[in-house]
Amino acid sequence: MAKAELMNYEKALEQFEVVIGLEVHVELNTNTKMFCGCANIFGDEPNTNVCPICIGLPGSLPAVNKKAVESSIAIGLALGCQIAPNGRFSRKNYFYPDLAKNFQTSQYDEPIAFEGSIEVEVPSGKKFTVEIERAHMEEDAGKLTHIGGNTGRIQGAEYSLVDYNRAGVPLVEIVTKVVYGAGAEAPELAAAYVRLIREMVKAMDVSDARMERGNVRCDANVSLRPHGDPKLGTRTETKNVNSLRSIERAVRYEIQRQAHILANGGKITQETRHWHEDKGATSAGRPKSDADDYRYFPEPDLVPVQPSVEWVESIRATLPENPALRRRRLQDEWAFSDLEFRDVVNAGLLDQLVETVEAGAKPQAARKWWTGELARLANSEDKDVSELNITGVQVAELATLVEAGKLNDRLAREVLTYVLAGEGSPAQVVAARGLEVVSDDGALLAAIDAALASQPDVLEKIREGKLQAAGAVIGAVMQAMKGSADAGRVRELIIERANQG
Ligand SMILES: [Zn+2]
């Protein structure tokens, strides 16, 4: 793949206005699929959760999953949408091997939810209102795995495997209206929007919301137009970007790529594009015109979806707190500064913090571990901190051990690496590896006396009030104890020694 030429980002923004639009697919966590009784489980043996309905055998008849409709309504309400009193499913006809029915059951002109809006805050603290055009129900397709070739894509592959376990899993597709005015912050806005959707669906418990498993996937539409031009530019649609960082990078890349083409008199091709995380670039997919004709027609095998007002209102009553209000409440409860709180939100760590604090850690300690050492470790492995193999409960356990003086900072960091390596909870690691701080004063005093023997003038200096002289002895003791001493306690003991003499 030849790398496209890019315009400098600031220069691109001087010349062009950025216009974006976002489509987010949320996979629902219902027990069963959208139109059949097959289990909706991630990671089972391929083609074990299939039946005549979800692989589209002739004569099979679908039935709508009530829980999926309920979850879809909940999502619509959380997005401030109106709920359609009468909605229908439609067949979207196309052939692809991961879709054995030859059509996808979706919603076309009668989505379950429409006309909403949500407020999205970007890392700078600026707030944008993102208008929602619609949220509709549909089914997922199966999963293709291309073998051979080195890109994992169909090009160059020797053969492909298909797994229909995912075929028929319920999805809600949320489509925004065109978003203007984000300017240089368009990439951050796109990522913050998806983060908010993820936070919402997780809080409502309608999706597992794990991006690395494809539970939340984003298609990002980007177009540019010269400032002041009333006509929208030609857009590209970067498909299935599945991490927040990738969304931000993909939008930024498209802005720079399109700006270079337009500034040099070229034309943007209306097409889908793929994001390549390793190369930090997008590549052309298939051309996509607005007139793509899927021959939608009403699904004759399903009755219309007609949620009653009572049902919709009973779902509304179960909605969790609005995310913006929840954030405000948590910031108050934790007594975080705006900056501290924003750091947590922007790192996508709000849920982790809640779990850690609920498990007994002090909010500031929870923040320090997640945005400090854990973020650093994730970064060094080129991962999202949320992908690390550690839970809030485990971080709380670590913080509690530090708080109780059983671990010092250095030991706690060491314990973390073993927890991440799967050796168990912090307490289990401490027990198995004997990493606890030495709190036995006898052992500490022996080390102190040994250190003092080589620095006999230190006690005299301390008696004269030169307390900083203790530093050299503390250092020697920590070294002798291989870091497993509590430096504060060592200092106390040295001063006691001086006062005794
Ligand atoms: Zn099935």
Claim to verify: residue 265 and residue 221 sit in the same structural domain:
yes
- How far, in Å, from the CA of 317 to the mean position of ligand 1? 32
Is the Cβ–Cβ distance between 60 and 53 less than 8 Å? yes
Type and span of the H or E element at 285: strand 281-287
pTM of the model: 0.78
User: What spacing in Å lies between the alpha carbon of 55 and ligand 1's midpoint?
Assistant: 7
Domains: count for the chain: 3
153 belongs to a structural domain: no
Q: What is the DSSP letter of 126?
A: -
d(CA 453, CA 480): 14
Q: Do 184 and 212 belong together in one domain? A: yes
**Under 8 Å between Cβ of 187 and 252:** yes
| CATH number (domain holding residue 447) | 1.10.10
pLDDT tens figures, 220-259: 999 999 999 999 999 999 998 888 989 999 999 999 999 9
292 plus 241 within the same structural domain: yes
Question: Model confidence over 155-176: pLDDT tens digits?
Answer: 788 999 999 999 999 999 999 9
459 and 428 within one domain:
no
419 shares its domain with 446: no
Q: Is residue 160 part of a domain?
A: no
Last residue of a domain, one of 284, 315, 346: 315
Query: 304 C-alpha to center of ligand 1: Å?
Result: 21
Residues 364 and 283 in one domain: no
pLDDT at 205 over 80: yes
Confidence band of 1 (pLDDT split at 50, 70, 90): low
What's residue 487's pLDDT?
Answer: 80
The rounded Å distance from CA 461 to ligand 1 centre is 81
- Residue 119 within a domain: yes
In angstroms, what is the span from residue 36 Cα to ligand 1's centroid? 5
Residue 170 alpha carbon to ligand 1 centre in Å: 12
- What would the two tokens of residue 389 be? 């193999």
Residues 348 and 383 in one domain: yes
How far is ligand 1, taken at its centre, from the CA of residue 51, in Å?
A: 4
Give domain status of residue 135, yes or no.
yes
Residue where a domain terminates, one of 399, 417, 433: 433
Q: Is residue 343 part of a domain?
A: yes
- The C-alpha atoms of residue 68 and residue 455 are separated, in whole angstroms, by 73
* Gap from CA of 88 to ligand 1 centroid (Å): 21
> Does the structure show a pLDDT above 70 at 126?
yes
CA of 41 to the centre of ligand 1 (A): 12
Burial 381-403 (b: 16+ CB within 10 A, else e): eeebbbebebebbbbbbbbbbbe
Instruction: Please spell the DSSP secondary structure of 72-109, one letter per residue.
Output: HHHHHHHTT-EE-SSB--EEEE--BTTBTTSEEEE-SS
Q: Rounded to the nearest whole angstrom, what is the distance from the C-alpha of residue 357 to the centroid of ligand 1?
A: 41
Chain segment 333-343, per-residue pLDDT in tens: 999 999 999 88
Q: Cα–Cα distance between 311 and 316 in angstroms, integer?
A: 9
**Among residues 401, 433, 465, which one ends one of the domains?**
433
Which tens digits make up the pLDDT trace of 417-475? 999 999 999 999 888 887 777 767 778 888 888 888 888 788 888 888 887 888 888 88
Q: Is residue 459 part of a domain?
A: yes
User: How far apart are the CA of 207 and the centre of ligand 1, in A?
Assistant: 19
What range defines the domain where residue 410 resides? Answer: 321-433
Say how many Å lie between the CA of residue 274 and the centre of ligand 1: 30
Dihedral sign computed on CA atoms, order 355, 356, 362, 363: negative
Do residues 275 and 353 both lie within one domain?
no
pLDDT band at 501 (very low <50, low <70, confident <90, very high): low
Q: Looking at the structure, do residues 195 and 236 belong to the same domain, yes or no?
A: yes
Task: Decide if 133 contacts 177 (C-beta within 8 A).
Answer: yes
Give residue 395's pLDDT: 96
Lowest mean pLDDT among 14-18, 94-98, 206-210, 456-460: 456-460
| C-alpha 135 to ligand 1 mean position (Å) | 24
Ligand 1 centroid distance, CA of 166 (Å): 10
CA of 40 to the centre of ligand 1 (A): 9
The Å distance, Cα 30 to ligand 1 centre, comes to: 13
Residues 467, 336 within the same domain? no
Q: How long is the chain?
A: 501
Stretch among 95-104, 204-213, 345-354, 433-442 having the lowest mean pLDDT: 433-442
Please tell me whether residues 82 and 222 are part of one structural domain: yes
pLDDT reported for residue 383: 80
- Looking at the structure, tell me whether residues 363 and 275 fall in a common domain: no
How far is ligand 1, taken at its centre, from the CA of residue 203, in Å? 28
CA 392, CA 390: separation in Å to the nearest integer? 7
Contacts of 448 (CB under 8 A, 6+ apart): 473, 477, 490, 493, 494, 497
For the segment 21-65, what is each residue's pLDDT rounded down to a tens digit? 999 999 999 999 999 999 999 999 999 999 999 999 999 999 999
